[in-house]
Amino acid sequence: MDNVKRYSAFIKRIISAPEPVRVQLLRSSNLNIIKAICEIILNIVQKNITVDKAVIAGLRKHRTVVYRLLESKGFESRKAIFIDYPKIILPLAGVL
């Protein structure tokens, strides 16, 4: 969770940006930022973080992508998934 605290401002910028800018920010982000976003999603899925029902409903819409994200091994492949599906990050606005 150190990465989440360190990169929280940049993650908020990624979440609030329009989709083309979000894709550019994800392409230019380092693997620690990708790791922090994956930690947030994993903690939400495992119910370690209490969130609103809207956040859970937003992640349920992208259920197959979330499971694909959690099953992938390397952070380079997770980064590629985020670039291919940038809308998966939108429900995290209620968490940060």
pLDDT of residue 44 exceeding 90, the answer is: yes
Q: What is the chain's mean pLDDT, rounded?
A: 93
Domain residue limits, the chain: 2-94
Which H or E run contains 39?
Answer: helix 31-45
pLDDT at position 10 = 95
Structure tokens at 30: 């380092």
Structure tokens at 10: 């940049």
Give per-residue pLDDT as tens, 72-94.
Answer: 999 999 999 999 999 999 999 88
pLDDT of residue 2 exceeding 90, the answer is: no
pLDDT band at 7 (very low <50, low <70, confident <90, very high): very high
